[in-house]
Amino acid sequence: MTIVRDFQLLKKHGFGLLPYEIAKNGSEAKKIARKIGYPVAMKVVSSEIEHKSDIGGVKIKIRNDEALEVAYADIMHNVKGKKIDGIMIQKMARKGVELIVGGKKDAQFGHMIVLGLGGIYVEIFRDISARLCPVNRTDIEEMIAELKSHPLLDGARGQKPINKKALEDVVLRMCKFMHDEEITEMDLNPIIFDEKGYDIVDARFSK
Amino acid sequence: MASKQQIKNLKFIFEPKSIALVGASPTPNKVSNVIFKSLTEGNFQGEFYPVNPKYQEITGIKCYPSISSIKKKIDCLMIATPAQTVPMILQECARLKIKGVVLVTAGFSEAGEEGTKLERQIKEICDENEIALIGPNCLGTLNPSTGADSIFLPMHKLERPKPGNIAFITQSGAVGSTIIDVAAYHGIGISKFISYGNATVLDEVDLLEYLEKDNKTKTIVVYIEGARRGREFFEAMKRINKKKPIIALKAGKFSRSAAAAKSHTGNIAGSYLAYNAAFRQAKVIEAEGLEDLFDFMKIFSQPLAKGKRVGIITNGGGMGVLTADAVDQMGLEFAEFSAEAKVKLKTILPSFGNVANPLDLIAEADGEKYEKGIEIMMDDPAIDALFIITLFQTPPMDERVLNVLIKASDDHRKPIACIMLGGAYTTNYQRYLDKYKVPSYNSPIAAVKAMKKFIEYSRFREPKR
């Protein structure tokens, strides 16, 4: 399971990840959810599925055993015919601003970092800014300022501003991670920030 | 990538005491005839040796059968003969210790396998003998102050700019030629023009390093499609831009490769994003198109702005409002005139006039009012930059205003941008102002955008001011 391997490597490099485990069946799912503590999110784990939420492979805000049973059956129905490795039961992420922090190795310029408004609208709004690695905190401040959606990060509509220091740390960590592990492309998407810190909901990378 | 010595040897191309032209031809419109004419009819003052075994002389100028038969020191060799003849010529060049070569001929790596082989030979000979070579497959080079001109487009069709302090390096000959033609038309002076073609020996990074040390160059304009050494290109820009502003236009922003991406990041980050990141990180001034390039170039030879508070002076209310809209939209600040300036400004306004920013001198404004108004604004420490709107359609606006604008541009205390829009009468005036390097624009948006870039750059250069 690439996702487990990926998550473990990220953890080793100091990225803060939400507690999760992979369930092979319904009763395992329940056991894990109780251990992690409700509410949880459920996500199908399959190398055959690119956009999990598009086909109904993701259920969020599961609050109890009953809801989990229904959700489990639902996902299984939705992904029928695909080869799956299990269902990831993950602690429900905090509420906050959904960002993408990505990176890639450009053929000409080497490793670079991309910051943007994350979640399912990444490709639609393309509200992104980029810098070449290595970056410093000033570079990251400028990246944030360049986003059209930066007022969201500063606390629009009565929200508290996100913890920018935590965001800077993630970006700096990612530069180092990509360099050390020779990453060619990677996403932390979404990574959700609030005034305290962040939760990485999904991550993928390739070498 | 070239050696330090090869980069230094570019001086033989730009400041040659003697030039030989291989393949010189009397046939009109041939590349080698165009260069022949530019060198003999332009302002090149050094020795010139045409080389072609077919001719004894060309229009009365002695023609040599070979380079070795010249028997004088040659600083720069210009080559316009077919690709397959080039390696032999360069070997001769090496033997005679010629250190500067411009090779305009096409038919090398861009033409296929045979050409690629020839190009590799060229590189080997040049690197071994520390020859600085520009090209092949390029439009040529120009230094207006020495008349060293290898541009193969005729002077009557492509005007050569005057000497100035802007250097151009361009990957595309076609874009490069249009840029300098338009630059010449607008009176923009240049220090060096380099169309570098296939960049076999000297690439954009080498050229940037040369221009970094060239004391005639104050601003560098780069047209690039794809850098050969991205990282070094970035590092060079980052270093040089701190001393000399670099204005860059990247072409080929569209990319199909994103389709193969494995991640969201790969999908949204095409190859252009890396260039954009590099420019932003190096604080290089990125032009979105050719219009930007000219608009930005005009404004960058002025003194750095101390801040972003702008003053607007106009003789037409509406044009002032349009400019104010652009100022607001682009995030510049309106200056609040100092108390002293307000008192003085009141005296040049009609009794019902209001001292406000934009300062509206109304339609009765003439040269004298503009002169006083601009002087007061130049003196006012609360203003960092000036937009001077002059609508020449009103009766009192005549050539006296032009002298006021030239004076304002020569004042050198604050950057200015003039805005004027009109038909033949205004356009004539604008051409006149071009000659005196007064930055003028036909639209408030263009003027404000250019000023914003200049103010951002000023802040980068002198953050503490």
Among B331, B336, B79, CA closest to B197? B79
pLDDT at position B350, please?
86
Task: At B250, list the tokens.
Answer: 């990247």
Residue B111 in contact with partner chain A when CB distance is under 8 A: no
Q: Which residues contact B351 (CB under 8 A, 6 or more apart)?
A: none
Which one is the CATH code of B309-461: 3.30.750.24, 3.40.30.10, 3.30.300.30, 3.40.50.261? 3.40.50.261
Could you state, in order of their start, the residue ranges of all structural domains in chain B?
Answer: 4-299, 309-461
Give the closest of B234, B265, B280 to A104, CB-based. B265
Q: In chain A, which residues have their Cβ closer than 8 Å to the Cβ of B267?
A: 122-123
B273 touches chain A (CB under 8 A): yes
Dig out the tokens for B316 from the structure.
Answer: 């037409």
- Percent of chain B residues past pLDDT 90, beyond the cut: 90
Task: List CB contacts (< 8 A) between A116 and chain B.
Answer: 268
Closest CA to A187 of A108, A141, A125, A119: A119
Could you report the per-residue pLDDT of B199-241, keeping only the tens digit for each?
999 999 999 999 999 999 999 999 999 998 999 999 999 999 9
Q: Quick one: pLDDT at residue A119? A: 76
Q: What are phi and psi of B381, to 5 degrees?
A: -70, -10
Q: Smallest CA–CA separation between B203 and chain A, in Å?
A: 14
Average pLDDT over residues B426-435: 95
Chain A nearest-CA distance from B268, in A, is 6
For chain B, the helix, strand and coil percentages under 3-state DSSP, each to the nearest 5: 40, 15, 40
Q: Does A119 touch chain B (CB under 8 A)?
A: no
Cβ contact (<8 Å) for A128 and B268?
yes
pLDDT confidence of residue A132: 97
The alpha-carbon gap from B269 to the nearest alpha carbon of chain A, in Å, equals 8
Taking CB atoms and an 8 Å limit, are A123 and B267 in contact across chains?
yes
Closest residue by Cα to residue B255 from A106, A116, A149, A51: A106
Cβ–Cβ gap A206/B262 under 8 Å: yes
Q: CATH homologous superfamily for A97-206?
A: ATP-grasp fold, B domain (3.30.470.20)
Per CB-CB distance under 8 Å, the chain B contacts of A146 are 280
Task: Please give the sequence-ordered ranges of beta strands (E in DSSP) within chain A, or none if there are none.
Answer: 20-23, 40-45, 58-62, 86-91, 97-106, 110-117, 128-132, 185-193, 198-200, 203-206
DSSP A39-100: SEEEEEE-TT-S-TGGGT-EEEEE-SHHHHHHHHHHHHHHTTTS---EEEEEEPPPSSEEEE
Minimum CA–CA partner of B233 in chain A: A109
Contacts of B235 (CB under 8 A, 6+ apart): none
Q: In chain A, where does the domain assigned CATH 3.30.1490.20 lie?
A: 19-91
How many CB atoms are located within 10 Å of the residue A51 CB?
9
Residues B142-162: tens digit of each pLDDT: 999 999 999 999 999 999 999
Contact of B276 with chain A, judged by CB distance below 8 Å, is answered with yes
> Looking at the domain that runs over A19-91, which CATH code has it been given?
3.30.1490.20
Amino acid present at B158: L
Kindly state the average pLDDT of the residues B331-336: 96
User: How far B135 CA lies from chain A's nearest CA (Å)?
Assistant: 22
Note whether B274 contacts A109, CB cutoff 8 Å.
yes
What is the structure's pLDDT at B122?
A: 97
B4-299 CATH: 3.40.50.261
**Contacts across the A-B interface (CB distance below 8 Å):** 91
Q: Tokens representing B294?
A: 């000219």
Tokens of A136: 């410093």
| The pLDDT of residue A1 | 60
pLDDT one digit per residue (tens) for chain A, 207 residues = 677 888 899 999 999 999 999 999 999 999 999 999 999 999 999 888 877 888 899 999 999 999 999 999 999 999 888 899 999 999 999 999 999 999 999 999 999 999 999 877 787 888 999 999 999 999 999 999 999 999 999 987 788 999 999 999 999 999 999 999 999 999 999 999 999 999 998 888 888
B157 lies within 8 A of chain A by CB: no
Asked if pLDDT for residue B87 goes beyond 60, the answer is yes
* A94 to chain B, closest Cα gap in Å: 22
* Cα dihedral A101→A104→A108→A109 (10° resolution): 40
A131 vs B234: CB contact, 8 Å cut-off?
A: no
Residue A121 has what pLDDT? 78
Question: Do B262 and A130 lie within an 8 Å CB cutoff?
Answer: no
Question: Closest partner residue to B274 among A106, A146, A185, by Cβ?
Answer: A106
CB contacts of A204 in chain B (<8 Å) are 262-263
CA distance B226 to B278: 13
Q: Which residue has the tokens 């100022």?
A: B327
pLDDT-based confidence at B40, cuts 50/70/90? very high
Does the structure show a pLDDT above 60 at B465? Answer: no
Instruction: Give start and end residues of each alpha helix (H) in B316-443.
Output: 317-329, 339-348, 367-379, 399-411, 424-435
A206 touches chain B (CB under 8 A): yes
Give the per-residue pLDDT at A36.
94
Task: Tell me: pLDDT of B330 over 50.
Answer: yes
What is the rounded distance in angstroms from the CA atom of residue B92 to the CA atom of residue B102? 15
Nearest to B170 by CA among B225, B213, B214, B112: B225
* Minimum-distance CB partner of B264 among A122, A129, A130: A122
Burial level of B336, CB count in 10 A (0-12/13-18/19+)? Answer: middle
**C-beta atoms of A206 and B263 within 8 A:** yes
Distance, CA of A20 to CA of A88 (rounded, Å): 7
The C-alpha atoms of residue A128 and residue A112 are separated, in whole angstroms, by 13
Which of B226, B229, B261 lies closest to A185 in CB terms? B261
Gap from B157 CA to chain A (nearest CA, Å): 37
Cβ atoms of residues B303 and B414 within 8 Å: yes
Q: Do A114 and B230 touch (CB under 8 A)?
A: no
Alpha carbon separation from B82 to B49, B114, B461 (Å, rounded): 19, 13, 47
Residues of chain A positioned with their CB less than 8 A from the CB of B456: none
Q: Is the pLDDT of residue B260 over 80?
A: no
Number of H helices, E strands in chain B: 17, 20
Same fold, B4-299 and B309-461: yes
Least confident of A115-124, B284-293, B300-309: A115-124
Residues of chain A with CATH 3.30.470.20: 97-206
Mutate to test the interface with B, among A123, A132, A143 (most CBs of B within 10 A): A132
pLDDT value for B258: 46
Which residues on adjacent β-strands are paired with residue B203? Answer: none
Please, what is the average pLDDT of chain B? Answer: 94
Interface check for B258 against chain A (CB to CB < 8 A): the answer is no
Residues 138-167, chain A, touching B (beta carbon < 8 A): 139, 142, 146
Q: Which two tokens stand for residue B335?
A: 């200056």
Asked if residue B262 has pLDDT above 70, the reply is no
Mean pLDDT, range B263-268, rounded to an integer: 72
Distance from C-alpha of B384 to C-alpha of A92, rounded to nearest angstrom: 52
Is A186 an 8 Å CB contact of chain B? yes
A120 touches chain B (CB under 8 A): no
B262 touches chain A (CB under 8 A): yes
Our CA-based measurement puts residue A5 at a distance from the nearest CA of chain B, in whole angstroms, of: 17
CB A132 within 8 A of CB A164: no
Residue type, B100: G
Predicted local confidence at residue A196, as pLDDT: 95
Is B99 a residue whose pLDDT tops 50? yes
Q: Is A110 on the interface with B (CB under 8 A)?
A: yes
